[in-house]
Amino acid sequence: MRGPPQTLKEAQSYRYGKWAGNPQGRSYCAGNCIAEFVPNERGATARQCNRKAITWCSSHDPERIAQQQQARNEVYETHQAQQDRIYKRGQDLVRRLGVGRVHYESRSRPFLGSGYRQEICLPFEFVEDYLKKEYLKKEGR
């Protein structure tokens, strides 16, 4: 068998936590989650999850993990699509103004790089309003 068990049947014949210091590993403990994992402790070796479960506990259930990943991907994709729309709207305004650039603000490092940047930022709505007024002025209305 390759890799940790994926089914109850595989778990029943699997040896958990095999390593050089324990080449035989440990047998499956009935009634516990079948996942093998390495605890987040110094010098820890792999072992069977000790949560009670028929097959998987809630944190090791591959289906649940996939659903959570899917949900995270959807949030990310929605955010990306929104960011793309904002960027394109900004790019269009910059093109029509003939000056400026779309400003991306990273909030990951709130203190580094802070300070006045000798530039002003204008909200899209302001620029759209300004362009509309300039257009109407040119048209003589």
Query: Taking CB under 5 A as the rule, does residue 32 contact Zn ion?
Result: no
- Single out the residue of 5, 11, 16, 33 in contact with Zn ion (rule: CB under 5 A): 33
Helix (H), strand (E), coil (C) string for 39-53: CCCCCCCCEECCCEC
Q: Which lies closer to Zn ion via its Cβ, residue 10 or residue 128?
A: 10
Q: For residue 55, give every residue at least 6 positions away whose Cβ sits within 8 Å of its Cβ, in sequence order, or none.
A: 7, 8, 11, 33, 34
Q: Which lies closer to Zn ion via its Cβ, residue 57 or residue 94?
A: 57
Helical packing angle, 124-138 and 62-97, nearest 10°: 30
* Residues 75-134 contacting Zn ion, CB under 5 A: none
Query: Taking CB under 5 A as the rule, does residue 49 contact Zn ion?
Result: yes
Tokens representing 2 are 């390759």
- Cβ atoms 33, 65 nearer than 8 A: no
Question: Which listed range, 22-30, 42-50, 76-84, 87-95, lies at the site for Zn ion (CB under 5 A)?
Answer: 42-50
Query: Taking CB under 5 A as the rule, does residue 35 contact Zn ion?
Result: yes
Q: Which lies closer to Zn ion via its Cβ, residue 59 or residue 100?
A: 59
Helix (H), strand (E), coil (C) string for 56-77: CCCCCCHHHHHHHHHHHHHHHH
Query: Taking CB under 5 A as the rule, does residue 60 contact Zn ion?
Result: yes
CB of 31 to Zn ion, least distance (A): 12
Query: Taking CB under 5 A as the rule, does residue 34 contact Zn ion?
Result: no
Binding site for Zn ion (CB under 5 A): 33, 35, 49, 51, 57, 60
